[in-house]
Chains A and B, each alone.
Chain A
């Protein structure tokens, strides 16, 4: 996988609230993630040029230069994955941010464990799909008539009607679609759902997959799209076109 997984990943956290910055750094460092924290765009640019980062956690509400401008600047610099922290209820910010190429977002006040799960999922995805990412951010994946749009976090059926997904179902489907025709182990998928699910984790994957199959009209017993791999894993068996 990712070479950097061997050494702890380095994350740049940009948030104007000192307490949140410090607490987040402590929290992530407890989870074996190296953190550099900045309070605004100016500090962030300086830190960016002086270091090497695997991921950026960016608060969109910054004093001075806005988070969206900083995200645009970062995108110009590299393909570093960005997890945005948005204000709850600011739909437009979220959509603009995702369209700018942010990889994921969380609304404040966020659950730290969920942030951790997102960071891990995004890091894993970034390591996995490094080659494809250089082609630019993907606006949509097409497979078997269905369309998955990461910028809007939504799934469209062949008639272009949105089929609503839970957050966990979306993450799961995105992971499967990004690694189409490759087997994803239950452990990998569990990471995706961690922080989202309240129930027992071991069943969560199977439940989420069976719901996804229902929504994709993929008959459970004779599933064609999401196939069960013996020995514990799932694979999306379809050609995926990126738009």
Chain B
């Protein structure tokens, strides 16, 4: 774009320069004609014998060298190129001879503007040659400060206007790409404003329609999962009851363990499908005791790692929250750390600027950098690097983030420099 703009400017400048060169050449050739012809007229009007004397009495201006000769001049210069011939011939015609009888019978021209020297050779009617060597002033196409300023001003204005126009034209495209990006992160992102030029409105409407279809698709899938989750509750309940009639203790324990896993998956699916936090009232809750309760419960369920579930930070911190939803979100993060990292170090930083920060660190393998954003996508599980036995349906992190965001907070994952994963939770106080 800018290169094209520069090219146009250069072309314009060249045209202007060539034009100026032409004009200056015409002026120069006429100027020379005006200076040479009076000398010629004088010499031609003088009888041949006295010519040399008359010539030597004449004061000839600078840049001219006038010689009388019986022959054309001996010069190394080539004849003036065709294109310039007429210029010089017209130039001398402007001089004004007065008496047509004085007109030269032949005019030869040597040199030219490129040679910086022009030799006029006039054969006079009475015989003999008048040879005039002239130095035209050098052609200066750029020799004008006003022109330079005007040119710069024009270039800058054109560049500024072009930039402005380009930005204005591409603004809707940037808005569109930002919206696409936002949609990728959150299906429920706000729709594009349908305003501006017709083309922009059409694009925005098309984009919003696409977003609505994606939303519809996601919600259909979620509804279907919720329905399956609902329907699974009865068979799981029956199986749990049946398992109680199994006499083999080991078998019964294993079956009940599997059923508990299934129940966990169903409850995660249901929690994701219906935003149960919406119906729960907001109340004041002690975040520290909430975290400790989660750690206690996780430790009770997995006594072998209980020692590696720790809390450090203030003894109390009140937050306004929906306790069940907030507990679920934080418990998902702690459970993740426990099951993938074998430990959970929970740390709370006292609030600054109305935001309290809780970090949950583990000693597991962490998450590959390129996957770190994608683990928040529903149903995504990192099977390659993480242990399959941990169960779950890949909804723990999406639920945690949904619920924290519904509280005006957020959760960000990062790999710790010395290994393990760190979940950083922020919550408004």
Q: Say yes or no for B266: interface residue by CB 8 A criterion.
A: yes
Chain B residues lying within 8 Å of A164, measured Cβ to Cβ, are 285-286, 289-290, 293, 323, 327
Is there an interface contact between A113 and B241, defined as CB atoms closer than 8 Å? no
Query: What bracket does the count of chain A residues touching chain B fall in?
Result: 20 to 34
Q: Mark A132-172, 1 if CB is under 8 A from B, else 0.
A: 00000000000000000000001001011111111001000
Interface-lining segment among A3-11, A19-27, A71-79, A221-229 = A19-27
Residues of chain A within 8 A (CB-CB) of B300 are 166, 197-199
Which of B241, B259, B296 has the most A CB atoms < 10 Å from its CB? Answer: B241
Interface contact B285-A88, CB-CB below 8 Å: no
Which partner residue on chain A sits nearest B325 by CB separation? A91
**CB of A63 within 8 A of chain B?**
no
Indicate if the CB atoms of B280 and A109 lie closer than 8 Å. no
Q: Given contacts A91-B279, A163-B289, A198-B303, is CB(A108)–CB(B233) below 8 Å?
A: yes
Complex contact B301–A198 (CB within 8 A) = yes
Is B230 an interface residue, CB under 8 A from the partner? Answer: yes
Give, as a whole number of angstroms, the nearest-CB distance from A110 to chain B.
Answer: 7
CB-defined contacts of A110 to chain B, threshold 8 Å: 237, 240
The verdict on B276 contacting chain A, using a C-beta distance below 8 Å, is yes
Interface assignment of A87: CB less than 8 Å from any CB of chain B? yes
B271 at the A/B interface (Cβ < 8 Å)? Answer: yes
Report if B50 contacts A (CB, 8 A).
Answer: no
Q: Which residues of A in the span 94-118 have a Cβ within 8 Å of any Cβ on B?
A: 108-113
Instruction: Enumerate A1-49 residues with CB–CB distance to B below 8 Å.
Output: 17, 19-20, 23-24, 26-27
- The closest CB in chain A to the CB of B259 belongs to A109
Measured in the bound complex, the distance between the Cα atoms of B284 and A159 in whole Å is 9
CB neighbours (8 Å) of B242 from chain A are 23
Q: Is B245 an interface residue (CB 8 A)?
A: yes
Question: Which residues on B sit within 8 Å (CB–CB) of A64?
Answer: none
Q: Which residues from chain B contact A160 at a C-beta distance below 8 Å?
A: 284
B284 touching A162 by the CB < 8 A rule?
Answer: yes
Given contacts A19-B238, A162-B283, contact A91 B323 (CB under 8 A): no
Partner of A89, one of B271, B284, B292: B271
Asked if B274 is at the interface of the complex by the 8 Å CB criterion, the answer is: yes
Interface residues on B, range: 35 or more
Cα A108 to Cα B234 in complex, Å, equals 8
User: Which residues B248-289 have CB closer than 8 A to chain A?
Assistant: 256, 259-260, 263, 266-267, 270-271, 274, 276, 279-280, 283-286, 289
A182: Cβ under 8 A from any B Cβ: no
A164-191 to B contact mask, C-beta < 8 Å, 1/0 = 1110010000000000000000000000
- B318, CB-defined interface residue at 8 Å: yes
State how many angstroms separate the Cβ of A192 from the closest Cβ of chain B.
Answer: 15
A89 / chain B contacts, CB cutoff of 8 Å = 267, 270-271, 274, 276
Q: Are B270 and A88 in contact (CB under 8 A)?
A: yes
Q: Does chain A have a CB within 8 A of B244?
A: yes
A164 to B322, CA, bound (A): 12
How near does chain A come to B27, taking the closest CB pair, in angstroms? 95
**B241 close to A24 (CB less than 8 A):** yes
Chain A residues near B274: list those with CB within 8 A: 89
* Contact yes or no, B238 A20, CB < 8 A: yes
Interface centre among A19, A89, A154, A165 (most CB of B within 10 A): A89
A24 neighbours in B (Cβ, 8 Å): 241
- Main SS at interface, chain B: helix
Q: Tell whether, in the assembled complex, residue B263 and residue A92 are in contact, meaning their CB atoms are under 8 Å apart.
A: no
The answer to whether the Cβ of A215 comes within 8 Å of any Cβ in the partner chain is yes
**Which chain A residues lie closer than 8 Å to B293 at the CB level?**
164-166, 169
CA–CA, A91 and B267, complex, Å: 13
B241's contact among A23, A87, A157, A163, by CB below 8 Å, is which?
A: A23
Indicate if the CB atoms of B270 and A199 lie closer than 8 Å. Answer: no
Contacts of B267 in A (CB 8 A): 88-89
Residues of chain B from 207 to 262 with CB closer than 8 A to chain A in the complex: 230, 232-234, 236-238, 240-242, 244-245, 256, 259-260
In the assembly, what is the distance between CA of A157 and CA of B316, in Å? 11
Q: Mark B283-326, 1 if CB is under 8 A from A, else 0.
A: 11110011011001100110100000000000000100001100
Identity of the chain A residue whose Cβ is nearest the Cβ of B322 in the assembled complex? A91
Interface presence of A213 (CB below 8 A)? no
Question: What B residues does A163 contact at CB under 8 A?
Answer: 285-286, 289
Would B303 and A87 count as touching, CB distance under 8 A? no
A211 sits at the interface (CB 8 A): yes
CB pair B230 A161 closer than 8 Å: no
**A161–B284 CB distance below 8 A:** yes
| Residue pair B318, A109 in contact (C-beta under 8 Å) | no
B324 nearest in chain A by CB position: A91
Q: Known contacts being A88-B267, A109-B263, is A157 close to B238, with CB within 8 Å?
A: no
Q: Which of A17, A27, A111, A166 contacts B245 (CB 8 A)?
A: A27
| Contact for A27 among B244, B276, B283, B285, CB less than 8 A | B244
A26 adjacent to B245 (CB under 8 Å): yes
CB nearest neighbor in A for B226: A89
Whether A199 and B289, one on each chain, are in contact in the complex, defined by CB atoms closer than 8 angstroms, is no
- A173 CB to closest chain B CB, in angstroms? 13
Chain B hits for A215, CB < 8 A: 289
Cα A234 to Cα B303 in complex, Å, equals 25
Residues of chain B lying within 8 A (CB to CB) of residue A161: 284-286, 318
* Cα–Cα distance between A24 and B230 once the two chains are bound (Å): 20
Contact A88 B266 (CB under 8 A): yes
B236-A91 in contact (CB<8A): no
Q: Which residue of B lies closest to A157 (CB)?
A: B286
| A162 touching B286 in the complex, CB below 8 Å, given contacts A88-B267, A89-B271 | yes
Q: Which 10 A-B pairs have the closest CB atoms?
A: A23-B241, A109-B236, A109-B237, A162-B285, A161-B284, A89-B270, A164-B290, A164-B293, A108-B233, A163-B289
Interface residues of B (CB under 8 A from A): 230, 232-234, 236-238, 240-242, 244-245, 256, 259-260, 263, 266-267, 270-271, 274, 276, 279-280, 283-286, 289-290, 292-293, 296-297, 300-301, 303, 318, 323-324, 327
Provide 20 A-B residue pairs closer than 8 Å at the C-beta atoms, listed in order of the A residue. A20-B237, A23-B242, A87-B233, A89-B274, A91-B279, A92-B279, A108-B237, A109-B233, A109-B237, A109-B266, A110-B237, A112-B240, A112-B244, A113-B244, A161-B284, A161-B318, A162-B323, A163-B285, A164-B327, A215-B289
